[in-house]
């Protein structure tokens, strides 16, 4: 018995396989895993152990709370917290065995002071901003600190120096070369400290130096790290919902809130139990375009009008009649409807589709560890 109409399947074997594929592209570099945002919506408590079982030893989360949750299920892993650390929270990092990623002088001084005061080695990463202009030390600030970091004169141990690429999924942009060159110059000042540059797309491209550590995220969960060509990753998530109701309407009938959709022909509609409260996009990206497509049998069918909070109306006129009956499955994600296509149709990106996956769905894990 499904407590929710829609059923989300997450393939942990595919996540593990995707990690192993990316590791194979890294040569001597270690392949870590970015598992922030509840492992991109797939469930940190399941995905973390599955990756650890596959061989992953180093993980990256966004927040301290995520790190604490991950530590409970992967007790022996190295865990970095990407978003620095909130003032006064250093004891919590030490208590949970987490490593902050330090991107400001204030963070560095606070962490160093805590490590000295408690006679700790204080393992932490240093984040350099090489062009994204989001988090991280400015290059000149890093240059001024480099010698002290290399010689461990600041009172803590820098175990990683990293930056974040802004356009690695884009071909033929000067920004990639500029960031790569600048990062290479900067990390040459701290040769004993491992460096990390590559995200998902960069791992797949030979022009990006691997350094010591790679940090893929999106590709682990089936997202295409090579949008210019066929996706090399295995799909991870499938989302289906059963048909609740079927109705036939004449041409000219208005459907859904605000009468935004009007039948241009005699039409057959189906309703399923999934809406914007389940993380689906409510409004179409352009007038007269559907906010989503679904599969009924092997037929692509558009959503009719706006999504409701908990329901979706679908124009199933072209679907085969033998696929239209109560409880018949409708595929929202899966097969040709991969997360990148679903995101594009909704006028957004696959990242948002993944990280918006509702906790209301009935979840089923394949390859559960």
Distance from the first to the final alpha carbon of the chain: 23
DSSP state of 40: H
When pLDDT is averaged across residues 63-78 and rounded to a whole number, the result is 97
Local confidence band at 369 (pLDDT 50, 70, 90 cut-offs) = low
Confidence at residue 182, expressed as pLDDT on a 0 to 100 scale: 97
When pLDDT is averaged across residues 196-200 and rounded to a whole number, the result is 97
Residue 133 lies in a domain: yes
Residue-wise pLDDT for 45-57, tens only, equals 999 999 999 999 9
Tell me, yes or no, whether 108 and 135 share the same domain: yes
Tell me, yes or no, whether 333 and 308 share the same domain: yes
Q: Which residue has the higher pLDDT, 92 or 292?
A: 92
- Cut 0.85: pTM above it: yes
Indicate the angle between helix axes 44-54 and 12-24, nearest 10 degrees: 40
Tell me, yes or no, whether 125 and 216 share the same domain: yes
Tell me, yes or no, whether 256 and 125 share the same domain: no
Confidence at residue 163, expressed as pLDDT on a 0 to 100 scale: 98
Residue 348 lies in a domain: no
Confidence at residue 366, expressed as pLDDT on a 0 to 100 scale: 96
pLDDT at residue 70 is higher than 80: yes
- Structural tokens at position 98: 């987490």
Tell me, yes or no, whether 54 and 94 share the same domain: yes
Look at the chain and report how many structural domains it folds into: 2
Confidence at residue 288, expressed as pLDDT on a 0 to 100 scale: 73
Residue 173 lies in a domain: yes
The SS3 of residue 147 is helix
In this structure, the number of other CB atoms found within 10 A of the CB of residue 321 comes to 10
Residue-wise pLDDT for 229-278, tens only, equals 999 999 999 999 999 999 999 999 999 988 888 999 999 999 999 999 99
Confidence at residue 224, expressed as pLDDT on a 0 to 100 scale: 97
Confidence at residue 254, expressed as pLDDT on a 0 to 100 scale: 94
Structural domain of 212? 12-221
Q: Give the lowest-confidence range in 3-12, 22-31, 45-54.
A: 3-12
pLDDT at residue 1 is higher than 60: no
CATH of the domain at 293: 2.40.37.10
* Helix residue spans in the chain (DSSP H): 12-24, 36-40, 44-54, 64-73, 90-96, 105-117, 139-150, 174-187, 200-203, 339-345, 350-355
Local confidence band at 172 (pLDDT 50, 70, 90 cut-offs) = confident
Q: Give the lowest-confidence range in 114-118, 147-151, 257-261, 341-345.
A: 257-261
Tell me, yes or no, whether 72 and 173 share the same domain: yes
Confidence at residue 287, expressed as pLDDT on a 0 to 100 scale: 67
Catalytic machinery residues: 36, 257
Q: Which of 162, 195, 221 is at the close of a domain? A: 221
Tell me, yes or no, whether 172 and 203 share the same domain: yes
When pLDDT is averaged across residues 213-237 and rounded to a whole number, the result is 97
Residue 357 lies in a domain: no
Residue with tokens 């906790």: 359
Tell me, yes or no, whether 201 and 101 share the same domain: yes
Ramachandran bin of 172, using left for φ above 0, alpha for ψ from -120 to 50, beta for the remaining angles:
left
Tell me, yes or no, whether 141 and 28 share the same domain: yes
The SS3 of residue 285 is coil
* Residues found in the chain: 369
Residue 283 lies in a domain: yes
pLDDT at residue 26 is higher than 80: yes
Q: Which of 196, 221, 246 is at the close of a domain? A: 221
User: In this structure, are strands 329-333 and 293-296 parallel, antiparallel, or unpaired?
Assistant: antiparallel
Confidence at residue 281, expressed as pLDDT on a 0 to 100 scale: 83
Local confidence band at 5 (pLDDT 50, 70, 90 cut-offs) = confident
Confidence at residue 229, expressed as pLDDT on a 0 to 100 scale: 95
CATH of the domain at 100: 3.20.20.10
Tell me, yes or no, whether 148 and 251 share the same domain: no
Tell me, yes or no, whether 206 and 311 share the same domain: no
Average pLDDT, the chain: 94
Q: Which of 192, 221, 250 is at the close of a domain? A: 221
Tell me, yes or no, whether 170 and 59 share the same domain: yes
Residue 360 lies in a domain: no
Residue-wise pLDDT for 108-142, tens only, equals 999 999 999 999 999 999 999 999 999 999 999 99
Nearest to 90 by CA among 71, 66, 109: 109
Chain-centroid distance of CA 164 in Å reads 15
Chain-centroid distance of CA 83 in Å reads 15
Q: Which residue has the higher pLDDT, 169 or 4?
A: 169
pLDDT at residue 190 is higher than 90: yes
In this structure, the number of other CB atoms found within 10 A of the CB of residue 251 comes to 10
Residue-wise pLDDT for 28-48, tens only, equals 999 999 999 999 999 999 999
pLDDT at residue 204 is higher than 90: yes
Residue 356 lies in a domain: no
When pLDDT is averaged across residues 56-78 and rounded to a whole number, the result is 97
Residue 98 lies in a domain: yes
Confidence at residue 260, expressed as pLDDT on a 0 to 100 scale: 85
């Amino acid at each position: 018995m499904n407590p929710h109409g829609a059923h989300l399947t997450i393939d942990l074997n595919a996540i593990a396989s995707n990690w192993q594929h990316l590791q194979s592209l890294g040569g001597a570099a270690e392949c870590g895993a970015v598992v922030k945002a509840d492992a991109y919506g797939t469930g940190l408590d399941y995905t973390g152990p599955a990756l650890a079982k596959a061989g992953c030893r180093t993980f990256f989360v966004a927040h301290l709370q995520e790190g604490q949750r991950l530590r409970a299920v992967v007790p022996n892993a190295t865990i970095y917290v990407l978003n620095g650390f909130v003032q006064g929270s250093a004891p919590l990092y030490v208590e949970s065995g987490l490593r902050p990623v330090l991107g400001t002088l204030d963070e560095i001084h606070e962490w160093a002071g805590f490590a000295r005061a408690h006679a700790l080695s204080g393992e932490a990463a240093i984040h350099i901003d090489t062009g994204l202009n989001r988090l991280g030390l400015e290059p000149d600030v890093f240059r001024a600190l480099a010698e002290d970091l290399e010689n461990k004169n600041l009172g803590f141990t820098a175990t990683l120096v990293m930056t974040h690429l802004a356009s690695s999924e884009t071909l033929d942009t000067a920004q990639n070369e500029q960031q790569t060159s600048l990062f290479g110059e900067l990390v040459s000042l701290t040769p004993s400290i491992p460096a990390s540059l590559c995200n998902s797309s960069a791992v797949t491209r030979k022009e990006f130096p691997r350094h010591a550590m790679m940090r893929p995220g999106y590709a682990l969960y089936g997202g295409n790290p090579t949008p210019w060509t066929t996706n090399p990753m295995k799909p991870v998530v499938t989302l289906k919902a059963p048909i609740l109701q079927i109705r036939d309407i004449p041409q000219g009938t208005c459907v859904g809130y605000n009468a935004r959709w009007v039948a241009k022909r005699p039409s057959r509609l189906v309703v399923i139990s999934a809406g914007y409260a389940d993380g689906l996009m409510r409004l179409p990206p352009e007038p007269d375009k559907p906010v989503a497509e679904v599969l009924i049998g092997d037929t692509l069918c558009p959503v009719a009008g706006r999504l409701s909070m908990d329901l979706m109306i679908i124009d199933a006129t072209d679907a085969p009649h033998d696929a239209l009956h109560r409880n018949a499955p409708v595929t929202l994600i899966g097969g040709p409807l991969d997360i990148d296509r679903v995101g594009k149709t909704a006028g957004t990106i696959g990242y948002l589709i993944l990280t918006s996956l509702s906790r209301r769905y009935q979840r089923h894990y394949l390859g559960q560890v």
